[in-house]
Chain A
Amino acid sequence: MTAGLFHALVGAALFGIGLHGFVVYPHVVRKVLALNVLGSGIFLIAIASAWDPEGGATDPVPQAMVLTGLVVAVSATAFALALACRMAETTGRTALEDDGTA
Chain B
Amino acid sequence: MVTDSPNEAPTPLPSPPRPVPSSLRLLSGALATLLFVALAWALSTMPPPSTELAERTRAELPHAGIASPVNAFLLNFRGYDTLLEIGVLFLALVGTHALGRRGGAPLRRGAPVPLLLVLAHWVVPLTAIVAGYTLWSGGHAHGGAFHAGALLAGAGVLLRLANLWPARLGLRGPVVTGLVVLGPATFLAIATGTMLAGRRLLEYPRDTAGGWILGVEGAATVSIAAILVSLFAAAEQPAIVREDT
- A residues with a Cβ closer than 8 A to B are 5, 8-9, 12-13, 15-17, 19-20, 23-27, 45, 49, 52, 55, 57, 59-64, 67-68, 70-72, 74-76, 78-79, 81-83, 85-86, 88-89, 92-95, 97
Contacts and interface: CB of A to CB of B under 8 A. Distances in A.
Contact of A8 (B24, B43, B232): B43
Nearest to A63: B70
Contacts of B58: 57
B18 A26 contact: yes
Contacts of B53: 59, 61
A56 B17 CA distance: 51
A93 to B, nearest CB: 6
Interface residues of B, number: 58
A15 B101 CA distance: 31
Interface string B31-73: 1110110011001100011010110011000000000011111
Contact of B54 (A61, A70, A71, A83): A61
Given A26-B18, A71-B88, A76-B92, A61 B36 contact: no
A72 B82 CA distance: 11
